[in-house]
Amino acid sequence: MRITIRYEASWRNSFLDGSNNKPLPKGGRTFVGSMTTLGKRDNQGNYPNFIKREITHDTVMGILNRLIGDQRKLYQSRNCPKYFFSGLEEHISFNDQQNQSEPINTETVYIRNMEGNTDQNSFTGMIKANDPVFRSDYSNIFWGVLTLDIENLCRFIIDESFQIHSPKQFDPLDALQKLDELNRLKAIDVETVKNALDTLQKRFSDVAYKIVDNKIKPIELYCSALYLQISRLSQKYDVSLALTKNGGLAGISKRGYTPKDFMDRYTTGSKKPIWGNPYQLKERRKGEGEVVSLLTKANGTLDILLNIPDDKAEQLKRMIDDAGVSSFYLGKKGLAYVDVIR
């Protein structure tokens, strides 16, 4: 017996972890299709969350069960004592022929994310420019740390008597813009800032600065310098209103900053939820440059071959006709339908 399935735009990627052949975890399967998660590498340098899928024996058995009207998970059907294909699965094979003449992954797909994640770089509400950290007697001296070049920044870190003279009055957007500029600076040799880095490591012994190839990103020094400055200013000013309940700077750690957390403190609204993102993986490959991998959509024909007794074949044909399934998904999405049963 042969059942020919034609399909279009069949998704060949998965954005959920775990297996469909096991009971759902209590909290459901985890969404791994966000931009942040897709870009995470494992110890071998691979991208385990960019999951590719092909048609397998389980896919075929899921289709056959769907065609006879069984909409349960495959593992549930297999565990049923009246499972129709019990003892027959080993006699079922398939041949998947993708249409190579049509492009299969030139379209960017946007995935709907309902986990309640928030945008890293956006905010909502009005900006509270009059927050004490921006409108106090010490504000210009505090944020002036960000206006120093790297040489004077090192002098400031090492020498407590170093005076900052900054006429610029910052507001939340100015501070965030300056942090973004500093974050784009290239890593510098550790030897050029060794004394300043040693001072910071003694002052903040719990902080593990990220040093790669004997280089460090300047943003780590600037953020630590802000903490150093607020500590020095606390000896002369009341800086309690500028700090969070935990005694830190909102959205700024001693090694970096997070825009959404920073602006959450200085806006009237809450963090901006993310409701979706393009499913794509950007990676740099040696000799190729930046390569963008998109979600694959395949078109083609699937032939399911059943080497089963005639009476079983007739019964299966009758059950398929009675169920009257017109179209169904092949994989997560797409359009599939029965073309011919012989």
Q: How confident is the model at residue 103 (pLDDT cuts 50, 70, 90)?
A: low
46 near 300, Cβ under 8 Å?
A: no
CA-based nearest residue to 1, from 101, 77, 91 = 91
Percent of the chain with pLDDT over 90: 64
Task: Examine the pLDDT at 55 and tell me if it is beyond 90.
Answer: yes
Say what the pLDDT of residue 31 is: 87
Strand 110-112 and strand 276-278: the pairing is antiparallel
pLDDT in tens, 273-327: 877 888 999 888 888 888 999 998 899 999 999 999 999 999 999 999 999 999 9
Residue 244 CB neighbour total at 10 angstroms: 12
The CA distance from 215 to 292, in Å, is: 28
- Using only C-alpha atoms, the chain has a radius of gyration, in whole angstroms, of 30
pTM: 0.65
Which one-letter amino acid corresponds to residue 272? K
pLDDT in tens, 10-40: 999 998 888 888 888 888 888 888 888 888 8
Question: Could you write out the DSSP letters of every residue in 272-331?
Answer: PBP-EEE-EEEEEETTTEEEEEE--EEEEEEEEEE---HHHHHHHHHHHHHHT---B-SS
Q: How confident is the model at residue 102 (pLDDT cuts 50, 70, 90)?
A: low
For the chain, give the mean pLDDT.
90
3-state helix, strand, coil in the chain (%, to 5): 30, 20, 45
Phi, psi at residue 285, to the nearest 5°? Answer: -115, 140
